[in-house]
Chains A and B, each alone.
Chain A
Amino acid sequence: MRRQLARTLLAQTFGVLIAASAGLAQAQSAPEALEWLRKIYQATHDLSYTGTFVYQQGNHSETSRITRRADARGNVEKLEVLDGVPREILRTDDAIRCYLPSSRTVKVDRRSDRRGFPTLLRGEISGLAENYTVTKGESRRVAGYACQEIVLTPKDNLRYGYKLYADASTGMLLKAVTFDDKGETVEQFTFTQLAIGNVSRDKVKPWPTTRNWRVEDTDATPANLEQAGWTIAADLPGFRKVAEVTRTLHKSHPVDQVVYSDGLAAISVFIEPVAPADKPVQTGLANVGAINIFTREVANHRVTVVGETPASSVQRVAETVNYRQPH
């Protein structure tokens, strides 16, 4: 508690100094807002809960049930999509498993280190404040909880903005809205029902698989694309490389993947060879909600850039992917 207070004071002092020295009408991240971010991060990491939430994008909406069991020995999170074709994702500390009962397939993505798993906000909060201005908004009720609004306004147009609504007492995230540079909502997810607290083990049991289920393992391993002759030279301030792997995506050949992140939004670059038998690679942009996907061909390879960012960012990254035969 004392450390938090000290940090807050420090942040406040620092904030004041910056404001004073900058002398410009610049919006600064309010220190209490940053503290709220920390609280939200902590909550999504520590809490057990079951709830139903709705994801909305345009006219499309999808309802899912999520159950999380936080345990000293390891966390388990289960996501079941309730609309349409049943799908289930189970996340444990060491793997993500995606169950597709309709095709009796389990896709497995193992992690070789038991690090715990992603929540809505992770890593250094101060890092986020480099790329977003974080401020407190109003109070509002969501799913019966009194929530505090926290707004993350991007400092450039390479990323989206977010409005987060967190339970005042636990910090649990109840609603998140992604907005674009026009201030319009791109997508949102919101809990319609949430119970925080004890979750029994049987609530996070995986989908019972039987014989004939295909197991597709991604076999992801570290890679070095530069050594293979690839360069990605995009100038995207605030984004740093966080992963570089080779994995099995489509069963016939390995795909390289490089991931960049600004602490909140991530961009993945996928590079895979093209066979003459394939249809020619179509260059262009596709979109799934807040996710933009840009495809192009480089040196007989299909380059696919996937990002939770405005279209310009993924296009920019894609256009700077280059190949030179290594010596």
Chain B
Amino acid sequence: MTDRDIDRELVARAQRGDKRAFELLVQKYQRKLARLLSRFVRDPAEVEDVTQEAFIKAYRALPAFRGDSAFYTWLYRIGINTAKNYLMALGRRAPTSTEVEAEDAEGYEEAEQLRDINTPESVLLSNEIAATVNATIADLPEELRTAIQLREIEGMSYEDIARIMECPIGTVRSRIFRAREAIAERLRPLLDTGKEKRW
């Protein structure tokens, strides 16, 4: 859970007036939060609006955040409340309401049918981006692939990764960086051409 420490640092800076620090947090959690909120709201444009709203609310509430919990835990709750309020303002109910209106039922049913996908198809990560990332990872030398997977998928600290891969921490750091750069290199052309409208 060591990337929590960077959250703390960024929050502290944002609380002292550094807006860019908050933006860095937004860049880090935007898609994770959007995926969560897309359970409440299906339309991709709406998801974005509600996500932005949630981040703004979080920014305004920042002075009240004491760091007793993880930033994302706190953000998550704000996100859910924002989504619920949004639905209520539109006369729609959140899925966890006890009374499910007819019009909601349809929306909720759709969500239920997406058995293995967390979000509606339309907001999933662009196929090409995801495919490129996955293909590059598969092509990486094993030690780079393992390092980035342990870090990103397992969320392990460098120290834990070093223990498992039985190498020095500095090597872990270097492997993760090299993996990221290899993937980024393949992604940049995709992102730059402007063909991809959504990522």
Query: Is there a direct interface between A and B, measured as CB atoms under 8 Å apart in the complex?
Result: yes
Query: Which A residues fall within an 8 A CB radius of B?
Result: 73-74, 92, 94-95, 97, 106, 108, 110, 112, 114, 201-202, 204-206, 208-215, 219, 221-222, 228-229, 251-254, 273, 275-278, 299-301, 323, 325
B76 interface residue (CB < 8 Å to A): yes
- Known contacts A219-B76, A252-B115, A299-B98; 14 further A-B pairs (Cβ under 8 A): A112-B70, A202-B166, A206-B164, A209-B153, A209-B154, A212-B134, A221-B73, A253-B112, A254-B39, A275-B95, A275-B108, A275-B112, A300-B99, A325-B98
Q: How far is the CB of B158 from chain A (nearest CB, A)?
A: 12
Q: Please name all residues of chain A whose beta carbon is closer than 8 Å to the beta carbon of B95 when the two chains form the complex.
A: 253, 273, 275
Are B73 and A252 in touch, CB under 8 angstroms?
no
Query: Which B residues fall within an 8 A CB radius of A?
Result: 1, 36, 39, 69-70, 73, 76-77, 80, 95-100, 105, 108-109, 111-118, 134-135, 137-138, 145-146, 149-150, 153-155, 159-160, 163-164, 166
Cα distance A273–B117 in the bound complex, in angstroms: 19
Q: Please name all residues of chain B whose beta carbon is closer than 8 Å to the beta carbon of A114 when the two chains form the complex.
A: 1
Q: How far is the CB of B147 from chain A (nearest CB, A)?
A: 12
Q: Please name all residues of chain B whose beta carbon is closer than 8 Å to the beta carbon of A94 when the two chains form the complex.
A: 1
Q: Please name all residues of chain B whose beta carbon is closer than 8 Å to the beta carbon of A209 when the two chains form the complex.
A: 149, 153-154
Q: How far is the CB of B66 from chain A (nearest CB, A)?
A: 14
Q: Please name all residues of chain B whose beta carbon is closer than 8 Å to the beta carbon of A95 when the two chains form the complex.
A: 155
In the complex with contacts A205-B164, A209-B149, A273-B95, A252-B155 CB distance below 8 A: no
Q: Please name all residues of chain A whose beta carbon is closer than 8 Å to the beta carbon of B99 when the two chains form the complex.
A: 300
Q: Please name all residues of chain B whose beta carbon is closer than 8 Å to the beta carbon of A215 when the two chains form the complex.
A: 153
Cα distance A92–B153 in the bound complex, in angstroms: 15
In the complex with contacts A73-B159, A251-B117, A253-B111, A300-B98 CB distance below 8 A: yes
Q: Please name all residues of chain B whose beta carbon is closer than 8 Å to the beta carbon of A211 when the two chains form the complex.
A: 134-135, 137-138
- Which one of A221, A275, A277, A325 contacts B77 once the chains associate, using CB atoms below 8 Å? A221
Are A277 and B1 in touch, CB under 8 angstroms?
no
Cα distance A88–B195 in the bound complex, in angstroms: 41
Q: Please name all residues of chain A whose beta carbon is closer than 8 Å to the beta carbon of B163 when the two chains form the complex.
A: 201
Q: How far is the CB of B175 from chain A (nearest CB, A)?
A: 15
Q: Please name all residues of chain B whose beta carbon is closer than 8 Å to the beta carbon of A92 when the two chains form the complex.
A: 160
In the complex with contacts A97-B154, A209-B149, A275-B105, A251-B164 CB distance below 8 A: no
Q: Please name all residues of chain A whose beta carbon is closer than 8 Å to the beta carbon of B134 when the two chains form the complex.
A: 211-212
In the complex with contacts A252-B114, A276-B109, A323-B98 CB distance below 8 A: yes
Are B160 and A74 in touch, CB under 8 angstroms?
yes
Are A277 and B112 in touch, CB under 8 angstroms?
yes
Cα distance A319–B75 in the bound complex, in angstroms: 35
Are B138 and A277 in touch, CB under 8 angstroms?
no
Q: How far is the CB of A215 from chain B (nearest CB, A)?
A: 6
Chain A residue with Cβ nearest B156: A92
Q: Please name all residues of chain A whose beta carbon is closer than 8 Å to the beta carbon of B153 when the two chains form the complex.
A: 106, 209, 213, 215
Cα distance A110–B32 in the bound complex, in angstroms: 15
Chain A residue with Cβ nearest B150: A206
Are B154 and A112 in touch, CB under 8 angstroms?
no
Q: Please name all residues of chain B whose beta carbon is closer than 8 Å to the beta carbon of A300 when the two chains form the complex.
A: 98-100
Q: How far is the CB of B124 from chain A (nearest CB, A)?
A: 13
Q: How far is the CB of B140 from chain A (nearest CB, A)?
A: 10
Q: How far is the CB of B73 from chain A (nearest CB, A)?
A: 5
Q: How far is the CB of A230 from chain B (nearest CB, A)?
A: 10
Cα distance A86–B49 in the bound complex, in angstroms: 43
Cα distance A247–B149 in the bound complex, in angstroms: 24
Q: Please name all residues of chain A whose beta carbon is closer than 8 Å to the beta carbon of B108 when the two chains form the complex.
A: 275-277
Q: Please name all residues of chain A whose beta carbon is closer than 8 Å to the beta carbon of B70 when the two chains form the complex.
A: 112
Chain B residue with Cβ nearest A103: B116
Q: Please name all residues of chain B whose beta carbon is closer than 8 Å to the beta carbon of A219 when the two chains form the complex.
A: 36, 76
